[in-house]
Amino acid sequence: MASKNLQSLPFPKAAIGFRPEYLDFRRGIRVGNLEDHERITRILKLELEARYGEPFVTERYGRGVYWQWIGYLPRSNREAKPISSHVSFGCSKFFVMVDTEDKLFKCGLQVERGRIERADRSSDYSLHSDWDWHRLVKGLRPGAAMERELNRLVKREGFHIHAGTWSEPAQLSKANWPGVQKLRRLLARAARNEWAALQLYYPMSEDEVRGSSGVDLIEAMLAIFREVTPAMNLCMQTQIRERHDAG
């Protein structure tokens, strides 16, 4: 799936120094002690901004040399939010992560719910009325555009879904895809005082990563982002469109 419909990168492939071993299945994604042309954060951000012609915000989970998760969200969507324009939690985002427990590299779309019942002193971490989560859940109904996109991605393209809290998520794929109505009920059952999210991602095993070149991996990530863009647009207040001169 990930190799089809690729457009060329906005910089020479020969200049890309990203290497497969920077996806470390025991420590995370290496981002420290690297040159700019080797760092995945910079490579993907430049490509996304060239493709869509607008700024992206980079978010991350982790510290030091290795990060576990990196997200990219359109700045315009965050700035359009009347309540939550100062935080990124309510924004749909492209993401990449190394799941060190399941030993998978995951790449795709993430939409966060946060908490419904406050569990700490910061209201920024709680679900607000302008978060993209509400559009996601509303779209999980028969006949809606989101149903068509999820059916396409899960049943035909081999994408997986993480749905619910981080501690007790439902893991869905073509083999156990329940449909959008049951997915909506799964999300509704997520504990109200815990952080919850939906991740729509394409999984890659360690062997698949090690058997690829750095350029192949970057192109695969960009192809995956393109595949999930229609679903992402269904969740956001502002939509992103590819520039006609991109690639």
Q: What is the structure's pLDDT at 244?
A: 76
Output the pTM of the full model.
Answer: 0.93
Let me know if residue 65 belongs to a domain: yes
Task: Count how many domains the chain has.
Answer: 1
Report pLDDT for 6. 39
Q: Would 244 be classed as within a structural domain? A: no
In a domain? residue 157: yes
Query: Is residue 101 included in any domain, yes or no?
Result: yes
Is 247 among the domain residues? no
* Cβ contacts of 115 within 8 Å, gap of 6 or more: 125, 126, 127, 192, 193, 194, 195, 196
User: Would residue 242 count as lying in a domain?
Assistant: no
Q: What is the pLDDT of residue 5?
A: 41
Give the pLDDT of residue 109: 99
Q: Which of 71, 92, 93, 70 is nearest to 23 (CA)?
A: 70
Looking at residue 4, its pLDDT comes to 41
Tens of pLDDT along the chain (247 residues) come to 444 443 445 556 657 999 999 999 999 999 999 999 999 999 999 999 999 999 999 999 998 999 999 999 999 999 999 999 999 999 999 999 999 999 999 999 999 999 998 766 677 789 999 999 999 999 999 999 999 999 999 999 999 999 999 999 999 999 999 999 999 999 999 999 999 999 999 999 999 999 999 999 999 999 999 999 999 999 999 999 998 765 5
Query: How far is 88 from 25, CA to CA, in rounded Å?
Result: 27
Domain of 40, CATH number, reads 3.30.930
pLDDT attached to residue 125: 82
What's the CA dihedral at 146, 151, 154, 158 to 10 degrees?
-120
| Residue partners of 102: CB distance under 8 A and separation at least 6 | none
pLDDT of residue 13: 65
Residue 2 lies in a domain: no
**Position 177 in a domain:** yes
